[in-house]
Structure 1
Amino acid sequence: MLALLATACADDQLVPPPGPPVPEPEPELTLVAKSYTNPLQISIPSGGQVENCPDPTVIRGQTEGDTAWYMFCTADPLNDEDRDNADAYKEHLIPILKSDDLVDWTYVGDALAERPSWARPDSDIWAPEVVYFSNKYYLYYTVPDVLEGGSAIGVATSDSPVGPWTHSAKPAVEPHESPCCGDSRRWVFDPEVIVDAKGDKYIYYGSYFGGISVRKLSADGLTSDPFSQVEVAVSNRYEAPSVIQHGGYYYLLASATDCCKGPLTGYSVFAGRSKDPWGPFVDRDGVRLTTNRVGGTPVLGLNGNKWVGPGHNTIVTDFGGQDWILYHAIDRQRPYLAPMPNGDLPPRRQALMDALDWVDGWPVARGGFGASDTEQPAPAAQPGQKSRYQLVVARQDEPGAAIPSATDEFSGLTVGTQWGWVRAPVGPFAGVSEGQLHLNTQNADLFEGNNSAAILWQPAPSGNYLVETKLHMNLPPTSCCFNFVQAGLLIHSDDDNYVKLVHFSNWETRQIAFAKELGPVVPDRYPRYGETFGGPAGETVWLRIARRTQGDEELYTAYSSLDGTLWSRAGTWTHKFGEDARIGLVSMSGTGFTASFDYVRVYTLKD
């Protein structure tokens, strides 16, 4: 035996055990040379461009040989000239656009020849959603006016994304009441459908009245189970749900505020995430989207360039692995289509696209820079391609050196000598004690023609600066309704021209709003007031507004925080206050509550 062992040890011819297989090298991807500039270019074969594509959804061809991408839009006119013989705008029942590269698109017709039999004959058709399963395309859509009353979600099927489409005999989601209110008709809008790894199907839907819900969708995709319904976002905050899976989570992206206020549209997109498609969806601060002090992590919002109101998005992943967010937005220089015969101004909601990045586990458009208005690298729309896009993370505004003359810690018995009043309050309104300035809410306002609220103000410094305050607001956390009690920061030149960052009550919710007003004279039928929303609102919040110049405009960017450390951006409004700019505090729009400010600190703006 020893001899045999010695012989074996000395044998250099032993074959080592096989190692792991060597993987085949991945084929090198070709960089896409093409670029694009928003809005997406959409040609009409008969001439002209599609300049109106609200609520876009996108799908790639799923059958053999079809490598094109297809975009579907809400039923609206395509452009200024899209009118009938009576000069009324045409209504296209879900326009279809086609592209090979996600950049250059062509209008190829309308999905639906007629409304479903259960819809009112004059009902709009909104917010399409297209998915593919069971060897068919499924087109879900909103019918806001149903014969039996209320709104519903319909579904049509086809073997091809360009149709013909066949309506299902009944809605996929029927009209039903809001969770808050019996005998009501909630807004059954904005379908979103996902299929999980097990093949289970879910439909998300909803809007401001009723919030956002999810239901189990039937195996054939044509009906949903009302007994499975779960609420995933509180009423009066979100609409237009979009759900994507990333890193073991389901991310619910939803849009907030008014979609259609022309150049003052503050529509924007927020996110929460969950390990389960049923929720609960929680934001970066750990706040649920179902709470009355509403959660939501900003994804896409106002950034100070020409685009306002970016929202109602869809997500695609290109062949290089980069995610892209497609959405509509409004050019504040061209916010409307040409007037209708009655003078009304339809919004011009154009189709845009930008890279969607993942920063610290959260989705954000273009690294936080938001909607682009300059040339961008195109997506990898076909196999074997890779986009030239590279992530650059946007930096938040930060305070620089303190400006002592504009700072007040409220540590004495009165406010500092720099402060004055616009409309000094009458009665028990203000006082300084225990290191805080207390401003009781007043039955007065600062909104368009109603300029009755008291404003505690001081001159704003010259140059770029950042103002910050810490605010306690004793609004009840859940009860309804104290519309629209609010308190917070104001930067203004007069009563009709300001930006305002406040904690406010909106029906059952408590939210952070960043508003802009201008006037008193604006073009006919143009708005004077618009607002966008920020992150969650606690009993105590920190508020910041950063001011910087860009060309001949002043950019005002708002932030909020629950702890003074982790800040959520609430968007950027442009305005022109000039040398008359003032920093103010307000507490208004209803009585019975108190806003307590720990300090007002003003800094230069860090470069």
Structure 2
Amino acid sequence: MARRWLALSTSGLLLCGLTSAIDTPVAAAAATYANPVTNGVVDTFPDPVTIRGKDGLWYAYGTQNPVFQSKGEDGERMLPILRSADLVTWQYAGQVFTPQTQPAWHNGSRLWAPDIRYVGNRYHLYYSVPGRNTVGLATSPTPAGPWSDAGAVLSTPSGCPTGNIDQALFTDTGGAHYLYWGSYDTVCVARMNASATRIEGPVTQVARGRRMEGAFVVKRDGFYYLFYSDAGCCDGAFSGYQVKAGRATNPLGPFTDDEGVDLMALTSKGGVVAGATGNRWIGPGHNGLQTDLSGQDWLVYHGIPADNPDLAPASGGTLKLTRRPMLIDRLDWINGWPVLRAGAGPSEGAQPAPVTTPVAGSTFNDRSISGMRADGVARTGWSAAQGHLSHEGGGPEPAYLATETKAPADVRAEADLRITAGTGAVGLLVNFVDRRNHVVIWLDRSRNALISRAVVDGRTRSETVTALPAGFRFEDWHNVAAEVRGSRMVVEVSADRLRDSVATQEVELLDTRLGAVGVAARGGQVDADNLSAAPLYQPVTTRLPQPSPGELLPQYTDEFNGTSVPGTEPDSPWRWVRGPATGTTMVDGTLSWPTQNAELHLGSNTASVLLRDAPPGDYTIETRIRFAPESAAQQAGILLYENDDRYFKLVHSVLPLNRGGGALVHVSEFSKEGERPTTTPPTPVANAPMFGGPTATTMWLRLAYHADTAGRQAEVQAFTSRDGTHWVANSVWTLPALGTLKIGLVSMNRAGAEARFDYLRTYRP
């Protein structure tokens, strides 16, 4: 065997080891999947979250809904549960409560937005009780139940000026638990007690914005990332949900978006992670996160199918709900920010599936240790008779059990570990050649520490020691994961693999080598489970490029350098609907247009609209607008307009903050209005917003139109900028292609503000 030397840098110590000359194993070709992954299993599965159980299977939990309507069931399942061996093929596994077992303190409320965690050797399922405006907790020894009621986790009042729903637990490095919750329009956080059953201490507001909700927090590379959704979750084809994120260096914030805007600022935010792209998925949002065996993160979320967005009325016709099946897609981290599929958005069609089968390792569910080899002074004492690996304990010398199959050089290795008796240690073996040459990552009870140690020629050459949290419960299952990429090894210790590690190490290797993975025991009785090694995922490091506006079309462009108001001269390409608007003038090369006490919304169509023809084919329109509204409902911006009841609108708008004590929030409001034929009975006209990037007194607004001739629909995407250079891409709204869209401007809703349009430019992509 060839000798190689390695080093660990976290503590300035050297780590060395040996390598075998065996070739790196090649993983089997990736399987594929297609969204929704719940297709054919349940009809809908809103607000999904997932966890990998200690049985090696994945479990998903969703909001109470009529999940079996297509099978003739009129009622709902209370927090339905699904189970999967591969994150792709799911089966129904029950529900958390039934009408007979639902706790009386719920007062019969529907139950929403579950969050699943593993705390103290029990599964904690936090859920929203909207009828009581609070958050409940149920616990179980297994991920499928039976569930025990643990009551409400929030105080009354909670201290958060919002709807007390959409909760998510996060456990920080050091072991402190935090609960995030809130909806319409504020997200709050409070520290929880040691058992994660009640909040304690002050409540901190960390985010606010129009319809902000669905918080989910993970930690990565020193930052805390707060995922959330805004706009409307469940309005059929008019759902404007998107997933966004902000990050902070403290779990209590302040969180900022990728534009540097504080999530508490009274403006809409950037940091878009996932949004509609014009394919079959509408309103993607309310996400969780899952990590496969290769270390690749996946966004778990719901989306609304454009071809079938509404469920039939349920519960005797009293419930009219939107269909929201569960989707999963690859989550990339690019330049420090999460984004779905490098910016491609929700997928349709075949996609490479998550890695859920290791090249080496076992769940031990077959109660066998075949394919493993024992090493060490004491080679006996290993058993899998209980469905997980156990070692009965021994003296001070380590006992080893490793896979016969070697692991790749770039690898993610992991195992669930615990010490059931004694003061010894349990460890994850990485690059194990034999008992004299290996790297072991110990959970050491006697030292209350995470210890990475290199053994070469039977001698400990170096070790890195990281203190575990005070009160760390070695008797509880913890996942230890090590990712080796080139010369860098990162170790994480967590309870539930949800990117909320309680201890980490970062290790710099001078060289890499091949070896097996396995488990080590020393001086105590230990258990291990779900041992795996898989080729480490290959990160995507570049976003898909944003579309450029293209070639300027002068014949469809106006720089507003004239002296006459557009649409008032006989040869003007512009024309007015209900105009000219009072007070509109030309000032310093701009079109100055005071806001009107007039509306363009559903049946209230009184506002003036300034229109001109759009070019044939695809195009992008852009304006620069100077607008400083101060009152609720004032708005100004651009339109693609067919008639008063069919249009796309992008405006700088002012809206009241729900439960905000009179606070107003400035938003980039991207809305559509049109018919809603899928409802029962059909709705003649509906209107709904999305919210784009941050606003400013001077803003650049773009609408990009695409004619989807195959789908016979108009697709429009919005973009906003505060400097004309850096743009925030919004999602895509669609409408069936019926008539011809025209380019338009508006300034309306409440008098008292002035919009100045510097130009209207049209481009050919």
Which band: TM-score by shorter chain? 0.7 to 0.9
Alpha-carbon distance in structure 1 between the residues aligned to 2:109 and 2:271? 34
Offset of 1:512 from its aligned partner?
Answer: 0.9
**Counterpart pick for 1:72 among 38, 52, 61:** 61
C-alpha spacing 1:220/1:330, structure 2 compared with 1 (3 Å): same
Contact 2:38 2:325 in 1 (8 A): no
* Residue type at the aligned position of 2:754: T
AA partner of residue 544 (structure 2): A
8 Å contact kept, 1:274–1:282: yes
CA RMSD of aligned residues (A): 2.4
Q: 1:175/1:369 Cα in 2 relative to 1: closer, same or farther (>3 Å)?
A: farther
What pairs up with 1:590-601 in 2 under 5 angstroms?
Answer: 590-601=750-761
How far off its partner does 1:37 sit?
0.6
2:152 partner SS: coil
1:98 aligned to 83, 97, 102, which one? Answer: 83
Matched ranges for 1:303-314 at <5 A? 303-314=277-288
Gaps of 5+ in 1: 1-17, 44-48, 181-185, 477-481
Judging changes above 3 Å, is the alpha-carbon distance between structure 1 residues 224 and 388 closer, same or farther for their aligned structure 2 residues? closer
Give aligned-pair identity as a percent.
37
| Matched residue, 1:345 | 320
- Which residue, 528, 540, 543 being the options, matches 2:698? 540
> Is residue 2:636 matched to residue 1:487?
yes
> What is the CA–CA distance in structure 1 between the aligned matches of 2:210 and 2:276, rounded to whole Å?
20
Q: Is the 8 A contact 1:254 1:271 kept in 2?
A: yes
1:258-297, Cα deviation, whole Å (9 max, x unpaired): 1111112111111111011111110111101101123331
1: distance between equivalents of 2:189 and 2:217? 11
**Whole-Å separation in 2 of the counterparts to 1:490 and 1:522:** 25
Deviations 1:202-252 (A, max 9, x none): 00000014x000000110111001x42110111533100011112211111
What is the alpha-carbon distance in structure 2 between the residues aligned to residue 521 and residue 308 of structure 1? 16
Give the aligned residue type for 1:509: V
152, 155, 166: which one aligns with 1:171: 152
Q: How much has 1:83 moved relative to structure 2?
A: 5.5
Amino acid at match of 2:232: D
Structure 1 length as normaliser, TM-score? 0.87
Give the equivalent residue in structure 2 for 1:189.
Answer: 165
Residue 387 of structure 2 aligns with which residue?
none
The equivalent position to 1:354 in structure 2, one of 329, 352, 358, is 329
How many matched pairs? 558
Report the equivalent of 2:603.
449
Matches within 5 A, 1:272-283: 272-283=246-257
Is the aligned partner of 1:531 residue 2:686? no
Kindly state the Cα deviation for residue 22 of structure 1 after the two structures are TM-superposed: 4.2
Computing the radius of gyration over CA atoms, which structure comes out larger, 1 or 2? 2
Residue 325 (1) aligns with residue 310 (2): no
Residues 1:160 and 2:160 aligned together: no
| 1:412 alignment counterpart | 562
Alpha-carbon offset, residue 339 of structure 1: 2.8
Distance 1:197 1:448, change over 3 A: same
Task: Indicate if the aligned counterparts of 1:378 and 1:389 stay in contact, CA closer than 8 A.
Answer: no
Q: 1:171-250 residue pairs with structure 2 within 5 A? A: 171-176=152-157, 186-209=162-185, 211-225=186-200, 227-250=201-224
The partner residue of 1:30 within 2, 17, 27 is 27
CA shift in 2, pair 1:388/1:363, >3 Å: closer
Secondary structure of 1:94's counterpart equals: strand
List per-residue Cα deviations over 1:73-124 (Å, max 9, x = no partner).
Answer: 111111324666xxxx32212111000100000101112243334221x201
Shift of 1:163: 1.0
| CA distance in 1: counterparts of 2:125 and 2:350, whole angstroms | 32
Structure 2: runs of 5 or more not aligned: 1-6, 8-13, 358-531, 567-571, 657-663
Q: 2:53 aligns with which of 50, 61, 64?
A: 61
Shift of 1:134: 1.6
> 1:33: Cα distance to partner?
2.6
The worse-fitting range, judged by mean Cα deviation, of 392-401 and 237-246 is 392-401
Q: Report the alpha carbon displacement of residue 549 of structure 1 after superposing the two structures with TM.
A: 2.3
From 672, 683, 691, the counterpart of 1:516? 672
| Structure 1 position 566, deviation (Å) | 1.2
Structure 1 residues 387 and 266: CA distance shift in structure 2, 3 A: farther
CA distance in 2, matches of 1:118, 1:522: 37
Q: Is residue 2:427 matched to residue 1:438?
A: no
Determine whether 1:468 maps to 2:633. Answer: no
Counterpart of 1:419, as a letter, is W
Structure 1 CA distance for aligned equivalents of residues 543 and 550 of structure 2: 20
Normalised by the length of structure 2, the TM-score is 0.70
Q: Secondary structure at the match of 1:515?
A: strand
- AA in 2 matched with 1:472: R
**Alpha-carbon distance in structure 1 between the residues aligned to 2:538 and 2:329:** 10
Distance in 1 (alpha carbons) for counterparts of 2:136 and 2:645: 44
For 1:497, the equivalent position in structure 2 comes to 646
Quick check: 2:33–2:353 contact (8 Å CA) kept in 1? Answer: yes
> What is the alpha-carbon distance in structure 2 between the residues aligned to residue 29 and residue 251 of structure 1?
34
Deviation digits for residues 339-397 of structure 1, max 9, x if unmatched?
33437532111001111111222111111111111110100124334598874732222
C-alpha separation in 2, matches of 1:443 and 1:387: 59
Secondary structure, counterpart of 2:724 in structure 1: coil
Say if 1:58 and 1:420 are closer, same or farther in 2 by CA, change over 3 A: same
SS at match of 2:69: coil
> Contact conserved, 1:79 with 1:337, CA < 8 A, in 2?
no
| One-letter amino acid matched to 2:700 | W
- Give the strand-richer structure, 1 or 2: 2
Name 1:46's counterpart in structure 2: none
Q: Which residue of 2 aligns with 1:363?
A: 338
Cα distance in 2 for residues equivalent to 1:577 and 1:415? 31
